[in-house]
Chain A
Amino acid sequence: MLKIFQRLWQVNWAEQWQYRANLIMYLLYWLVSPIIYLAVWTSIAASKGSVNGLTVNDFTTYYMTLLIVDQITSNIVIHTFAYKVQDGSLSGELVRPIHPMLTNALVNNIAFKVLTIMGFIPIWTVLYFLFKPDFSSVTWTGILFAIPAMILGFLVSFLLSAAITSLAFWTTRVYSVHEFYYALMLLFSGQFVPLTLMPRLIQDIAQFLPFQLLIYYPVQLILGNLSSAQIVQGYVAGLVWLLISIVLFNWIWRNGVKQYSAVGA
């Protein structure tokens, strides 16, 4: 099994490396909105002294950390997989004795991630000197606890996106479904603004959804803003959502493959 993953890694790494210019463009595309939110909220905090107790530095560190966390927990499976169902090229992968989504697509995502992170480090460094965040509240224990949390977050986000992508077995409008999912993510993950500034109702609903595991929870963990009870609560929520997303994905996948008629084959 390890050998298979090693091979898959070589193939997918080579594939992603081929598109490295696209990766830089993708990075740029994806960096812009957090930087804009950063600019907007720091300008408000600067003019008012603080927003709901959050200072300019709180916002700067939040978004600077968010850039890293989002890089690790996000995934691109909808873009690399849904078209294979639609044009029938998935057939070749289905006859192989390995799971197309949980091996090939997963490794492809990780290869993509490693490459973008390589491109991302110098950009982040430049931003660091432009915005000069004060990271003195960050502790090693916080980072240590955040690493498994981010891996958990990535697995949940990957499986949920994989579940949605598998809807492509039924509908060609899977991209629209994903767009809707992405909007929910913007609303409940803390991508736009630290969740504490959201309306009460949204904060309450966010507690019961997986989205804050992807952004808000790891970010606050790194910044050392969580009590030990909140850390435990976050991990429990993460494991529960991991379980839910595994079951959900498996169920949709299994029924989807039965549905699959291999267009073009």
Chain B
Amino acid sequence: MNVLKLLSAFLKVNIQMSLAYRADTVVNILLNLMWLGWELLSLGIIFSNTETIGGWDFGELIGLLGVFRLVHTLMIALIWPNTEKFNQSIRDGSMDYTLLQPINSMFLVTFSRITVWRAWDLVLAVILIIVGINVAGDVTTPLSVLTFILLTASGAIIIYSLWIVLIALTFWFTKFDNNVTILQALLDAGRYPVTVYPVWLRILVTFVIPIAVATTVPLQGLRGDLTFDRVLMFICIGIVSFLIASQVWKRGLKQYSGASS
């Protein structure tokens, strides 16, 4: 099966759906800009009182805001809408139809809903990262940029895998509508470098709900704070967590009995 073909079909459907609500899209983009303004203002307020927080300066925090927005976009454009659809399909039994398709069900559940206009957010995020790093004056080499990209990808995969595990739990506990709230709740912790947080919070957002692995860690890689072993470790964790998640998903599917039958 051609995965790319399928993806473009999903995109097409989702673009059509969002075109039905054009004015909403415009309002959403304006609100999005408003929040960006607020985020920059709040950073401005913080840095009018200090030069660094947790060893990071203004530019680096703008960069971090960019990385945070990448993760945020992943959540808001892909994870939330698909969770909603998934929970619905478990409740009313329409999951049956997803399973009947001749394609990997995890893939279908991941990509069937895409909030298309959020692509604009990704562009904004990349601009923030580039501007931030330039303001900070950090020296970047091709190697550090590559490290950054790999760490961002593995961080995103780790969060994605956690999501898969959380929604797969719904197969065992049918009444588990809150499956992703914990992810949603702790997301905000990604706005600031974890080095600022007290130890218990740092442990929570690094090991339990690893938001920081997708936000702070990639920028640490870019700054050259991480040794080669560390970088390798994070990438391996990314791969392993994906494998675990797909296993949990498979086991979960065996548990699924269908709400209608």
Contacts and interface: CB of A to CB of B under 8 A. Distances in A.
Interface string B41-73: 110011011101110000000000000000000
Contacts of A122: none
A39 B197 contact: yes
Contacts of B185: 25, 28-29, 31-32
A198 B45 contact: yes
A40 B49 contact: no
A51 interface: yes
B31 A180 contact: yes
A176 interface: yes
B120 interface: no
A130 interface: yes
Given A176-B27, A187-B38, A43 B54 contact: yes
B228 interface: no
A257 interface: no
Contact of A29 (B49, B54, B184): B184
B65 to A, nearest CB: 13
Interface in A24-62: 25, 28-29, 31-33, 35-36, 39-40, 43-44, 47-48, 51-52
A176 B196 contact: no
A44 B196 CA distance: 9
Given A130-B198, A176-B31, A199-B45, A36 B50 contact: no
A47 B195 CA distance: 13
B257 interface: no
B207 interface: no
Nearest to B48: A199
A25 B178 contact: yes
B249 interface: no
Contacts of A95: none
Contacts of B181: 25, 28-29
A52 B49 contact: yes
Given A28-B182, A28-B185, A187-B38, A40 B46 contact: yes
Contact of B200 (A40, A51, A130, A179): A130
B34 A173 contact: no
Interface stretch (B3-11, B186-194, B229-237, B238-246): B186-194
B198 A48 contact: no
Interface in B190-221: 191-192, 196-198, 200-201
Contacts of A130: 198, 200
B42 A39 contact: no
B49 A44 contact: yes
Interface string A168-188: 000001001001100100110
A193 interface: yes
Nearest to A52: B49
Contacts of A180: 31, 34
22 contacts: A25-B181, A25-B182, A25-B185, A28-B182, A28-B185, A29-B181, A32-B185, A33-B188, A36-B188, A39-B198, A40-B192, A43-B196, A48-B50, A130-B198, A131-B198, A173-B23, A176-B24, A179-B31, A183-B35, A187-B38, A192-B42, A199-B48
Given A44-B49, A51-B50, 5 more contacts: A22-B177, A25-B182, A29-B184, A31-B185, A36-B189
Interface of B: 23-24, 27-28, 31, 34-35, 38, 41-42, 45-46, 48-50, 52-54, 177-178, 181-182, 184-186, 188-189, 191-192, 196-198, 200-201
Interface of A: 21-22, 25, 28-29, 31-33, 35-36, 39-40, 43-44, 47-48, 51-52, 130-131, 173, 176, 179-180, 183, 186-187, 192-193, 197-199
